[in-house]
Amino acid sequence: MTILLDLLRPVTDEELLRFSERNPGYQFERTSDGRLVVGPTGGESGRRSLKVAYQLETWNEHARLGMVFGSSTGFRLPDGSLLSPDASWMRRERWEALSREEREGFVPLCPDAVFEIRSPSQIVSEPREKMAAYIRNGAGIGVLINPSALTVEVYRPERKPERHDNPDRVALDPELPGCVLELGPVFEVLQAKPG
């Protein structure tokens, strides 16, 4: 379950980094109005985000167009929020324009492509609001995967989200040229061993 905390003052980047370091297994984010969002990362959600990041990295190794980031990367967006997508991608020239210090800390840019996987504890509006925030802050494409409903929603600036029901794959052109997200490994549910 995601927890939203209204604090007496906004949390600084340094405080957010310390919270994350002291509390492994939880994801800490800050909204544009300074609220702290805390959510645990469950096993299935972590496994699914890795499947997406792996596909993105495999595509990027061939395309050589940018940099791929995992779910632990925090991005400080222009509106002041600090979010960590489940997987993300940034064009190479934007990454290379950053200083060493900017690369080491929370990245002071919105990624060009963001991927979020809805966990069962989230109400549907929560990841949709994050997608809207990414697009408002400069992302060219956002992909929201809902494994329990077997749907994928693709967000782009100035367009309504495209909904795909139980797709085998979703092409992410033109923002990610030639990138096709295979949903079978992401939707797959591993059965627990009887015990």
CATH code of the region 42-187: 3.90.1570.10
pLDDT at res. 116: 95
User: In this predicted structure, which of 41-50, 117-126, 147-156 has the lowest mean pLDDT?
Assistant: 41-50
Whether the pLDDT of residue 103 is over 70: the answer is yes
Tell me what the mean pLDDT of segment 53-64 comes to: 97
Convert the pLDDT of each residue in 142-195 to its tens digit. 999 999 999 999 999 999 999 999 999 999 999 999 999 999 999 986 544 555
pLDDT reported for residue 191: 46
Instruction: Using a pLDDT cut of 70, give the percent of the chain over it.
Output: 89
| Residues 76-91 as b or e (16 or more Cβ within 10 Å = b) | bbeeebbbbbbbbbbb
State the Cα–Cα distance between residues 11 and 35, nearest whole angstrom: 8
CB 125 within 8 A of CB 146: no
Choose between 77 and 2: higher pLDDT. 77
Provide the pLDDT for residue 173. 96
Mean pLDDT (whole number) for 76-89: 94
Q: Which residues lie closer than 8 Å to 10 by C-beta, 6 or more apart? A: 30, 34, 80
* pLDDT value at residue 59: 98
Cβ proximity of 114 and 85 under 8 Å: yes
Is the N-terminal amide bond of 177 cis, ω within 30° of 0? no
**Using CA atoms, how far apart are residues 162 and 164, in angstroms rounded to an integer?**
7
Residue 192's pLDDT is what?
A: 47
The whole-chain average pLDDT of the chain stands at 88
Residue 5 has pLDDT above 90, yes or no: no
Instruction: Output the pLDDT for position 22.
Output: 79
Structure tokens at 68: 């791929």
Angle at 43 between CA 176 and CA 170, to 5 degrees: 25
Q: In the predicted model, is pLDDT for residue 1 greater than 90?
A: no
Mean pLDDT of 53-76: 95
Spans of all domains in the chain: 42-187
Confidence of residue 19 (pLDDT cuts 50, 70, 90): confident
